[in-house]
Amino acid sequence: MVKRSYKIKAALGFSIAGLSFALLGCVLAWLLWCASNSYTVPNPNFPEAQDAEGFPEIDWNYWQSVNPDVIGWVSIPGADLSCAIVQAPTDNPTYYLEHDIRGYANYHGCPYLDADCAELGLNSQNAVIFGHNIRNGNSMFATFANYSQEEFAQKHSIVLLQTPEWKKVLRISGASIVKGNQRTKRTSFDTQEDFNLWFSERLDECCVKLQDSIPSSCITFVTCSYNRYSNERTLVYAAVQSDK
């Protein structure tokens, strides 16, 4: 009787262990799937192709057939960042926080332009682009969190932004770390002076500042970071250096 009880307990223990390993395997497989499905390459057929200025050659027809919300592409020379940007829908502004570029539920999400910028798109006076930086992986906008380090910012001060219509070279103006509930976002302004004042105030908040000049418009890249607060964001302000 004792032996039988021992055998039952042993079998139950093995079953629980097997189930635990199976569940762990499923979780790991799901994590890998999320990371893989969120990854985007400029051109699936020629992933390393670039033009003479170093802009990735984007297969816009392919990506817009995958998702019509694809509106742009951002890359940083010399850094591990090159990814598509989608437009957040006005009726569901946070949709791409939890869905990838193919529309699948995915905690990696997809870098997206704020829904308040939908009318003018990436030509908005302050085009705000969000992307995840997840602790358990170098996902999406993790690179932008590094701009709170001056050495990194100096080394990677150029950002390349493009759409099907244009290409722009951006230069980093500065980066700041703010609490997650701090409200500094603005996407439209009454006058150029209104924008100038807002941008000047943002520069004053920066922990890293590379230039003092105030542009006529800017791109703001936003991601989570883990430096000062339990809930914080790193905001990276970039000004148009030149158009292509």
In 139-152, which positions are buried (b, 16+ CB within 10 angstroms) versus exposed (e)? bbbbbbbbbbeeeb
How high is the pLDDT of residue 20? 55
Residue 47 reports pLDDT greater than 80: yes
How high is the pLDDT of residue 17? 54
Token pair for 127: 């085009």
pLDDT digits (tens, 9 = 90+) for 70-111: 999 999 999 989 999 999 999 999 999 999 999 999 988 999
pLDDT digits (tens, 9 = 90+) for 117-168: 999 999 999 999 999 887 655 567 989 999 999 999 999 999 999 999 999 9
Question: Of how many residues is the chain composed?
Answer: 244
| DSSP 8-state class, residue 89 | P
How high is the pLDDT of residue 139? 65
pLDDT band at 230 (very low <50, low <70, confident <90, very high): confident
Residue 11 reports pLDDT greater than 60: no
Token pair for 29: 């497989």
Average pLDDT of 169-191?
91
Geometric angle at alpha carbon 35, from 85 and 161, rounded to 5°: 20
Poorest-pLDDT segment among 29-33, 206-210, 231-235: 29-33
| Rounded CA separation 16/13 (Å) | 5
User: Could you tell me the CATH superfamily of domain 60-243?
Assistant: Sortase (2.40.260.10)
Domain segments of the chain: what residues? Answer: 60-243
pLDDT digits (tens, 9 = 90+) for 63-75: 999 999 999 999 9
Residue 177 reports pLDDT greater than 80: yes
Average pLDDT of 20-32?
58
pLDDT digits (tens, 9 = 90+) for 181-209: 778 789 999 999 999 999 999 999 999 99
Work out the number of other CB atoms within 10 angstroms of the CB of residue 50: 14
